[in-house]
Structure 1
Amino acid sequence: MLEQLRQNRSVFLEQNQEEFAELLTFIDFAQGLTIGFIEINQEPDKATLVAALREHLAESDVELAVLNFSQEKNLRFLREALIERINRIKTRPTDRKLVLLIQGLEVAIGSDGVGAYPPILQDLNFVRDAYRQSVAYPLLFVLPDYAITRISKYAPDFWAWQSGVFRFKTSQQSLEQLKVEAFDRPLAHIASTENEAQIEQLKQLLMELRPSGQTILPQNLKPCSELYYKIGSAYLTQQQPEKARDYLQEGLRLLERNRDSDLYQSLYRRLGNVYEKMRQFDQAITAYEEALKIARSQNHSEMVKVILSDLAEVALEQRKFDQARMFYQQSLEIAKSQKDFFAQASTYHNLGNVALEMREHGQAKDYYQKALQIKIDYDDRYTQASTYHQLGNVAVEMREYEQAINYYQKALQIKIDYGDRYSQGSTYHQLGIVVQKILKYEQAKHYYQQALKIFNEYNDRFSQAQTGYQFGNLLLELQDYEQAKKYYQQALQIFIEYSDYFFQARAYQNLGIIALKLQDYEQAKKYYQQALQIFSKYNDRYSQASVYGQLGVLTESMGEYQGAKVYYQQALQIFSKYNDRYSQAPIYNQLGLLTEAEGNPAEARNYLQQALEICFEFGDNRGITSVQEQIDRLSS
């Protein structure tokens, strides 16, 4: 291995003799602020160059200071950072000419051939003139191809001052080795530092096969498209969908003339995954349908099966439950015909998701247990985590809270064992919900904070909003209305941004509850009507019930008893239709209070007795105490 490394270094220097000589001449003549760029794509070659420069300059009047910024991903103000480093260097007495060789800035600039305007380059362009006085030394920026291109594009004023660009070529031997590693290495399916390193390796190869400003060679079209696919897929795993989208779209552009290829289909399918992650569901459907059309034209049943599941997932996100179930059933039939047990497990799991959303809890549990058994039989431990997580969700809905905690803990442990930090966030979120239901508020707060920390690490704003909304529920329960209101409003803005109408309605509804608690009746009514309008528009009949219940409380608080009774009866009718007996208890309780206020104690007692029976049925001790006290008061 060491011998191979020495040979690669020797070949690199021999191949770039002329460029190296020109660089030495540049260093020799540079005085004051003189800017040069050294283009090197491969990390080992950068180390080789630095070692060679040190060796050649050892006996000269030049002091070469190597400044490495590879750990400063969020660096924005380069001039200030250089001044700080220079001040440290100047403490050493020397009469030699100081030359600064700057490495690692690509982490802040970006080495993507696609993407947004990096903040560091905005500042670099803006404060260019200040460098003459404050950084009056020769500056050599060692960067890969695409990072240099980004400087020329986004910091043109600074770029105009460069006095030389030295392009060092990668040896053919190193290039072939990089190709083997990049194309043969499977992509990671968990966000990790290893995955980040793989992205950088893939980008290094892409720069070699598609240098900036050069026409791509015909033989490199497909390899480059495959690299765009791999990089896009890896960025999606890293929870960076915008970057993933840019790479996948570039891959599609390269393959425009060969639309029937498997790779073209894969690019479209992955682009659908990206749009789905970004909650841009119409674009996701368009991408999936394009991929499905190609798969069907090629009789590629394996991909047809996968893409049908993708379309089902989008339908589920859009709360089109019948459509989601249809797509999953079609996918399941193909999986059964292929005796693909892993795909069957995945589809049973997803059918469980549909049943859970439709409040068919027994059916959901059956599907999840079928999925789990297959995963256990085939020793697929990692994916068992998602099914344990969903079984936890079913247990919560069935008010089996200890069982739910057990399932969530199993899911969390698997995710920890496999280093899947991002997915841990959703399980911490659910653990927060379930312990909040059993009144362990401090523990709930801890779990929500854990979830928020993870989602913040991955810049997943939508999941942050969901957990922030749930944190608002906790604060509402603790009667900290102002803080709860703040969390709901922050979450609402993100839900609006991501066009998630269901969560917008939930946020409006809870803002209505706060307004009611603060006796701002007109504002409460406005919020409830906004929530009801959304639930009605999307035919979410079940969610309308809780809003009708709250409108009943509001109307009763305003002394309009008949109107309140109509709302309560509407809520009861819906909860009964969906067999949600537990949610009927607070409505019966409110009807009891209302009829008592109307002067009908016998009718009030009847309603309260029905509420009490339900509380006993579900073991709701807090509800039992509250309702029993009201019955006792009526009897006294």
Structure 2
Amino acid sequence: MAQVNGHSPASMTVTDTAHRKISLVNRQIYQRLKQALSLGLRRQIFIAVCDDISLRNRLAARLHAELAISEDSRGKAGGINSVFRPPASREYPRLVSLNLNLSQPHPVAQINRWLGQHPPPSNNPPGFQILGVELLTKQSAKVQGFFLNSLKTIERSLPNLESTLLLWMPRPWLRAIETSAPEFWRWHTGVFEFEGEPAPASDLRTLMATSLQEFPRQTVPQEETAVPQENLWHILGSELDKFSLDHQENPPSQKEDFKKESGTPVTSGEGEEKTSFILNPADAVQSLQEIEQLQQSRPPEELAQAYLRLGNYYRDRIEQSNTSQENLITAIQAYDQALAWLEESSPLAADILNDLGNLYWMLSRYAADSQEMLAYLEQGINAYHTALTKFNPDDAPHSYAMIQNNLGAAYGDLARYQDTAQNLQNSILAYGEALRYRSAEDEPLKYAATQNNLGTAYWHLAQQQQPVTHLKCAIASYTEALPFYNPERDSLNWAMLQNNIGTAYWNLAQYEQPEEFLQLAIAAYQSALTYRTPQSAPAGCAATQNNLGTAYWHLATQVEVNPEGQQQYLQMCIAAYESAIALVEFLSNNDPPVPVTFDVSATQNNLGLAHYQMATDKKFSLQQTSQLEHLEAALRYHLQALQGFSEQPDSYESALSLVVQTIRAFYRERGLQGQNLALSKVPGKLLPELLRRL
């Protein structure tokens, strides 16, 4: 999983499963639990109760992401410093996540072993959350008794417990502990009980590239696991049986390279194949057996390789579109363990960190809210930064450029949620670094992809500051990328770039030289439509037709041209908007319907305005019959927009005022007869409000 959004046929198809919203009650309980853990008090024992394992995994993963990063490391130049590096060179974690050792389930002893291997600086140990208690049900009575005895003797263990302990368990085990280990129950600090939540139907959608390489995560030296989840071996065993069937039903799919958006330039990425350690379930079983054997003696090199093979197995599954949350978390866990056991100077570290970055970006798509998403994105950015410290860019220019491209994309995604201008500037710097080591001669398509990404970052920054300067930089980057795409062989990507160029010129026309830049925008959109046809790319064609209509509208209404020219531009505007709407109607009738990336109601409203302008501008000297046709069309499209704006109060009010304006134009042109004709076309429920305004 080298780069997510790529030109390589083997690059990953990124699918996004609709995440579950965590209920209000559970969110409140989570915030109280997070606050309790963040205090960092010693000898505190918390119990988190959750019968829904999937929900438990998400809550524990969120705690890990949000609390493992020290507050003073946020906001530093270049992203967040890693909190999961080995203590010799990295910040120390504030929260460590461990799976319960099922052979000797003694939580406090397990914590002490971890601390012995990773001594905390300044005698300031992290907190610990322990997962996997539910798996004791499948163990022998002897093992279960060992666990309960370890809790009964908690009073003797407390003097050695310098940390906060959070123990996750289902309700049956909570009841068992209450009755069988009352000594532990007396010493616990608090219980946080979460309710199970129904799982919604999956809503899979393919994401066509944003320039991101998915997002990184830091590596925590730890004994069992860096990301909370069910026991790794339990998950692996339950999923291997399904693997062959998954391959038959879900063959690897080629990912789209570009995300299409109307009115907004889009980004691309690139994919690079990497040799996999694990290619089939038998290898995964072998990896599992190896790790179980190595757990006894733990030779670092062998243990790291075993974890790496397991991580690569799940990475391969993800690259074949099996992007479940469980697969992502398991891959992250395995790679984290591999990094924890690798030597600091290992040449594998940079690639693993890059893969972790990609996995964290994908995991961010499951976030229940923006705060959780930010935590994952920050983990990703940190992993990319850490990867860049692992080698000299002059010795590995291709890897350096790839990771910088990923980093630029990650900052671009982060800019959507916080510190927009600063993160876009960070994105631009990263893309610039990538281009220093990504030459047009050696990697022409990757060079072009990064130039396109850079152009899009500049376009977004232009919406924040120095619009003219940054829009011109965006156009320069897009124009630099264009020659590397052959319109005959790579027509859709070439058309995408033309659409981006058109949008940048349209935007620039709002600030200077409107007629010249609008003409350039129109030329670029028309070039895009040569290959973005209703047959080859109906959704992209609809978006570009919408953009073309808007450019013609501005040319007709904002530029001083003769009446014949204005009328011609408005006619072209109407034709483009009508083509866009016709394609939307066609796509909506597909099974399933195909979404478009622009506001169709706004397009209908704009089309109504264009028809109104044609009907009422006296310079055009239209026949009365033609005037009436345009007025009827204006009213029809404004009413359609009104219906689409039913959930947008401000837009609804604006469209309603345009309906009133159009009905008044009917009255001016045809008197009461014209007004009554207009009112006869209005839905009855609107009549009282319209009559009041008329």
TM range (shorter): 0.3 to 0.5
Q: TM-score, normalised by structure 1?
A: 0.38
Higher relative contact order, chain-length normalized (CA < 8 Å, sep 6+): 2
Q: TM-score, normalised by structure 2?
A: 0.36
Whose radius of gyration is greater, 1 or 2? 1
Larger helix proportion of the pair: 1
